[in-house]
Structure 1
Amino acid sequence: MKKFSTLRTVALGLALSVAVGAAAQAKNPMVGGAAMYPTKNIVENASHSKDHKTLVAAVKAAGLVSTLEGKGPFTVFAPTDEAFAALPKGTVDTLLKPENKDKLTKILTCHVVAGDVMSKALDKMIKDGGGEYDVKTVGGCVVKAKENKGKITLTDESGGTAHVTIADVKQSNGVIHVVDKVLLPKS
């Protein structure tokens, strides 16, 4: 009887640790087929997402790796490869050239907010702002955040609208919200 009780305790312990592990995994979504670990920084996690290869290449070309690996906290609205591909043909290749580093840096920093802004906090700011909230980025851009049917949208200074497709991806130095469009500064 004692052997059965010990076996049951071990089985219960294993089940509990699997459940706790699954719950921890469920709290931080998968992005681009990769697990996003809250113990890793923004660059480390983004580098593993198959949907953010262009973003990572752009961050490297702009010289922003050490910044986004830094202490933060930062909130990054991270455009997918598909979002970059939707830009006019040749835009990404042109931006990645060394002579366009300043322009690329401006675009990328228009996706970064100082602080750790989870979607629930952003939603509250939108509601407190009467349905719209001006998000000030580290690049000096102002992005208008709105909520529509439970989804957050961001309108850039050029009038383009991005939708947050995956929210609240926790990082050791902030949070990533995946977006489906590249946010552009006014021309």
Structure 2
Amino acid sequence: MQTLQKIALAALCGVGIAISPAIANSATPADQMENESRLIIAQEPGTIVDVASGNEDFETLVAAVQAADLVDDLSSEGPFTVFAPTDDAFDLLPDDVLAALLEPENEDLLTDILLYHVVPDEVTSDELESGGLDTLNGGLAIAVEPDNVVVNNASVVLPDVDASNGVIHAINRVLVPPGTLAELESRMAEDDDDDEVEPIPGLW
């Protein structure tokens, strides 16, 4: 039972594991078929949303994807490449900025930001080249260095996390398309009934 539980857990996390010959040989034919079926499932990663949801480092990203109603889009066939900000990356944003982005009235800005992290193709780390890379909401600047990949002002901290519909590269900062920051500042100023709003620190 513990072996089957481990297989099921691996399937949920998108991690493949192998069944030892001793266990396989001791099982009945029906058990072997079930084990083989579970093993196939375990070897197949879930969608980008599934993989992110199974990783505790992407909890804020998953919440943002849900708030922007992009779960179905990022669960579609793709393929996609997602430069995925970790929770630590979101923590660099001022609390009021993240809270504002998660408000329903700012869903369009949140969507703009999230789509700026999504490339409509699968690009693994060995395929990344210095230069421009088009996303679903504008272009990114890529700098490939000997021991680092920089995306705009963010660094890739974990490359090539496989998903059934693409690949995830975890990054250490949130990327924001040009113009979105100014619009967010304007809306936050209106909400505060101020003529001016203090500029958001350049953490983007």
Q: TM-score, normalised by structure 1?
A: 0.72
Matching of residues 69-80 of structure 1 within 5 Å: 69-80=75-86
In structure 2, the residue corresponding to 1:60 is in which secondary structure? helix
Does residue 110 of structure 1 match 2:116? yes
What CA deviation, in whole Å up to 9, does each residue of 1:49-101 have, x standing for no partner? 11111100000000100001110000000001110110123111100000000
Whether the 8 Å contact between 2:58 and 2:86 is mirrored in structure 1 is yes
Aligned match of 1:138: 136
Whether the 8 Å contact between 1:38 and 1:170 is mirrored in structure 2 is no
Per chain length, whose mean CA-contact separation is higher, i.e. which structure has more relative contact order (CA < 8 Å, sep 6+)? 1
In structure 2, the residue corresponding to 1:182 is in which secondary structure? coil
Whether the 8 Å contact between 2:144 and 2:150 is mirrored in structure 1 is yes
Q: Distance in 2 between matches of 1:81 and 1:93?
A: 14
Aligned match of 2:98: 92
Alpha-carbon RMSD: 1.7
Aligned match of 1:179: 171
Runs of 4 or more off by more than 2 Å in structure 1?
36-39
The alpha-carbon deviation at position 150 of structure 1 amounts to 2.3
In structure 2, the residue corresponding to 1:168 is in which secondary structure? strand
Aligned match of 1:18: none
Partner amino acid, structure 1, of 2:115:
T
Whether the 8 Å contact between 1:37 and 1:45 is mirrored in structure 2 is no
Number of residue pairs the alignment of both structures matches: 141
Q: TM-score, normalised by structure 2?
A: 0.66
Identity of aligned residues (%): 43
In structure 2, the residue corresponding to 1:52 is in which secondary structure? helix
In structure 2, the residue corresponding to 1:100 is in which secondary structure? helix
